[in-house]
Structure 1
Amino acid sequence: MTSQTVTLVSECFVKPLSQHQKQHIYFTPFELPFLNLNYSQKGLLFSKPPPPDDHDFSISAFLDDLRRSLSATLTHFYPLAARLATRIQQNPPSSLIYIDPQNTPGVKFVHATVDVTVSDVLTSADVPLVVRSFFDLNDAICHDGHTLPLLSIQVTELTDGIFIGGSVNHLLADGTSFWHFMSAWSEIHRSEEKHDYVISRPPIFKRWVLEGSDPVTTLPFTHPDQFIVRPEKPEVKERFFHFSSTAVSKLKAKANEESNTQKISSLQAVSALLWRCVTRVRRQPSDSETVCRLAINDRHRVNPPLSDDYFGSPIGGVSGTATVGDLMTHGLGWAALRIHEAVRNHDTSAVKKRVESWYRNPTLNKMIGAVHHNSIMITSSPRFDMYGCEFGLGKAVGGRSGFMNKHDGKTTMYPGREGGGGMDVEVCLLPEYMMDLECDEELMNALKSD
């Protein structure tokens, strides 16, 4: 690469096209634990039009179109343009944190340039460090949303491509909600009815409340110093592995055959493979515990179920556990069955118990000391319609994430660009483990099993 320095060209704030009086939006026991975590960062890489079509491409016109359509989209997704607010209550001593839609400075919109190519980003063995600079708000935690934007969009112009990266406050949006917003933005951007701005899936902001609970949830603190713990940033290698639809199908079939069932999903089979391979390269004692943890969408696990259009972060986590010896001795199906059982047991009753427990003892997530030293954490989903988000440049050529909330064992799932059930998997590991993972026989065989 010629230069790995991202140059800031301009920045501004984009407000909703139309603003009406909106009510405060409160957070639930699903979202409040994220106050200490970094913003979530995801983005799409597009190729610029090739010659001779590139003569018709104007970056200034492209940016103007993005800003106009973003403003229209924020009319529907207005909380993203607002800021957090806190009201201190004395009896009992507590803090009420909420979104104040009347304080709407807007979404930050950044234009930057970098002298690298699409190929530099996609074909490098490890994710290039420069990709971290394709995102804004790289040190922000969710509590910072009191003074920082709740969403920042950075458009980075490469030599032959465009990267659109979003940094969103995790209190507001999980992956389902972020890609819902991106899909709506794409829909408006592509609409021929430029002044209509109707979207097919309006977001739902009415908060979920556990039956019998106060709809306004407070925290037992009166000052941020009582709960803010900023995350560490370990130096890990980030690498993508592509599982074709054929490879995924074979893994799923193998996992179900070995476990004598037909219940194991594609995601569970791939997760089981990664759990085994990462555990193997860490070379931990055979009697030590290893954990495969999955972030899981709780929208359909509450009663009554929530729509996928529910805008928020109603996510939980499930864990498959084993000793290193058992995980290595038994096959893929055995590991996949541990994960499947953890997912199956995470039902409406389990979610209700977790929320009730949080009400009794409100706690906030933190990265420092909270990550099991011999675990992997599976996040995001290959079911997200990332590649359906187009902005006049055709289908994206790849997706990437920022460096926030990453640690040894963090694994991010993406749909394969070709569709049909393929997956792209981003694995984060300490450098010494990543070197061995590249040579892991089980993983390499699975990747080339077309």
Structure 2
Amino acid sequence: MSTPPKIRYISECFIKPQYALEESKRPFYLSPWDLTMLSVHYIQKGLLYNKPSSADAQEDFIKSLLDKLKQSLSVALVHFYPLSGRLVTQINENPPSSLVFVDCSNSPGAKFIYAALDMTISDVLSPIDVPPIVQSFFDHDKAVNHDGHTRPLLTVQAQGNNISLTRPPIHKRWFPDGGPILNLPFKHQDEFISRFEAPKLRERMFHFSSESIAKLKAKANAESNTNKISSFQSLSALVWRCITRARHLPHDQITHCRLAINNRARMEPHLPNDYFGNSISAGAAVTTAGELLEHSLGWAAWKLHELVANHTDKVVRGWLDNWLKSPFVYQLDRLFDPHSVMMGSSPRFNKYGNEFGMGKAVALRSGYANKFDGKVSSYPGKEEGSIDLEMCLPPDSMSALESDEEFMDAVSLSHQLH
């Protein structure tokens, strides 16, 4: 049996902003939405590129590419300066509390890694399941956000040599009613930080063409006698129903479909679209496994539509009011259950717009972070209007899903390798 390939780390360094804005010299305080995320994993997303055909003929190709990436990252960090910082906690004794913020001044910067691997793009994309080696493509393995006290907040490569921001990030911090800087009611990190270990999972990418998604949307709206159900609500309803069926849950088992909902435009007054930081809620539609499968796709999609439509300023501020009365930090092992589905990420993110001087990316992949039974991450597909879903399920549930006629009829052939 051949030895599986391993990542070879060639060099690493830290990149600071090319110059410091005056505002970057002040603490970057965390909102309630930021603070709740301290015990979840770092986000780990990556793009795969074909090596340019001319690269082998250019001995200095890699050196030139690395120099450009480092330079562009340094320029980008001027605008995204919190990502070059480190977390700092100030402990207050009476009453016991912790003030966590980002120090953007006293930090070596963002981490930049150059590594190599003896594999081809086909080796990564051809297997049915995402190969385990992909997890080693990412730094901060199993790190939670609180580890940003000692680890870089960002390990990244940037978009090009010349950066012109048409939508610069807005760093002005938002707090409920413009209120005070927020303290967590804990004196030690062990009171609010835990380490989640995922069970044995299969991880697979499923591709849905724009035509397939349009059919799902038309079907869901027709079955609900409406035209209000969105494409993503229709696709999420399909996933919820089919995963529930694949799990063979008892008829009376409660099941949720959770959606990550952007709060920015739902608040009054609106938060700017370019507000930098977390501003999301995890809303949930709920029913029993039996009821979900006895009803149509449109019925499930309408429940998700109502969830999104009813996520108003009042709902957002109600959550914030409750959090202020009793602050907490999400714990992954208690946040999700093996009977439900969590739809994360978004097909609206322009991930394929990042070229790094190597042309368009071939595919998107992610690391170990924030994966559990029923986690589904949605990405834009390479073809306009298509969506790729990264799905995590135990082996037996994944096998059942692969045999589910309703689900597989909607899955399209991916063109990633062509």
TM-score, structure 1 length as denominator?
0.88
State the partner residue of 1:424: 388
> How many angstroms apart in 2 are the aligned matches of 1:18 and 1:53?
32
SS in 2 for 1:13: strand
When residues 448 and 110 of structure 1 are mapped into structure 2, their CA distance, relative to the original with a 3 A threshold, is closer
State the partner residue of 1:201: 167
> How many angstroms apart in 2 are the aligned matches of 1:358 and 1:369?
17
Q: How does 1:57-136 map to 2 (within 5 A)?
A: 58-136=61-139
> How many angstroms apart in 2 are the aligned matches of 1:280 and 1:105?
50
Residue 8, structure 1, aligned to residue 9, structure 2: yes
What displacement does 1:222 show? Answer: 1.3
What displacement does 1:3 show? Answer: 4.0
What displacement does 1:25 show? Answer: 1.0
> How many angstroms apart in 2 are the aligned matches of 1:405 and 1:8?
24
> How many angstroms apart in 2 are the aligned matches of 1:272 and 1:117?
35
Query: Which amino acid is 1:97 matched to?
Result: V
SS in 1 for 2:65: helix
My pick for the range that moved more, 371-380 or 197-206, is 197-206
User: 2:342 pairs with 377, 388, 391, which one?
Assistant: 377
Does the 8 A contact of 2:142 with 2:368 survive in 1?
Answer: no
Does the 8 A contact of 1:3 with 1:115 survive in 2?
Answer: no
> How many angstroms apart in 1 are the aligned matches of 2:350 and 2:65?
23
What displacement does 1:53 show? Answer: 6.0
SS in 2 for 1:411: strand
Q: How does 1:140-289 map to 2 (within 5 A)?
A: 140-153=143-156, 185-186=158-159, 189-191=160-162, 197-211=163-177, 214-289=179-254
What displacement does 1:215 show? Answer: 3.1
Query: Which amino acid is 2:111 matched to?
Result: K
What displacement does 1:190 show? Answer: 4.9
> How many angstroms apart in 2 are the aligned matches of 1:62 and 1:245?
34
> How many angstroms apart in 1 are the aligned matches of 2:94 and 2:84?
32
State the partner residue of 1:446: 410
Structure 1 residue ranges without an equivalent (≥5):
154-163, 165-184, 192-196
SS in 2 for 1:278: helix
> How many angstroms apart in 2 are the aligned matches of 1:53 and 1:97?
45
Does the 8 A contact of 2:207 with 2:413 survive in 1?
Answer: no
SS in 1 for 2:122: helix
> How many angstroms apart in 1 are the aligned matches of 2:212 and 2:41?
33
When residues 325 and 10 of structure 1 are mapped into structure 2, their CA distance, relative to the original with a 3 A threshold, is same
Query: Which amino acid is 1:55 matched to?
Result: A
SS in 2 for 1:293: strand
Count of paired positions: 410
Does the 8 A contact of 2:69 with 2:161 survive in 1?
Answer: no
User: 2:57 pairs with 46, 55, 60, which one?
Assistant: 55
State the partner residue of 1:343: 308
> How many angstroms apart in 1 are the aligned matches of 2:161 and 2:252?
56
What displacement does 1:287 show? Answer: 1.3
Query: Which amino acid is 2:136 matched to?
Result: S
What displacement does 1:449 show? Answer: 10
Structure 2 residue ranges without an equivalent (≥5):
none
What displacement does 1:54 show? Answer: 4.2
When residues 72 and 234 of structure 1 are mapped into structure 2, their CA distance, relative to the original with a 3 A threshold, is same
Does the 8 A contact of 2:253 with 2:289 survive in 1?
Answer: yes
State the partner residue of 1:171: none
Does the 8 A contact of 1:246 with 1:449 survive in 2?
Answer: no
CA offset digits 1:278-336 (Å, max 9, x no partner): 00010011111111111111111222111221110111111111111111111110010
User: 1:325 pairs with 262, 283, 290, which one?
Assistant: 290
RMSD: 1.7
> How many angstroms apart in 2 are the aligned matches of 1:330 and 1:221?
46
Q: How does 1:388-407 map to 2 (within 5 A)?
A: 388-407=353-372
Query: Which amino acid is 2:75 matched to?
Result: A
SS in 1 for 2:198: coil
TM-score, structure 2 length as denominator?
0.95
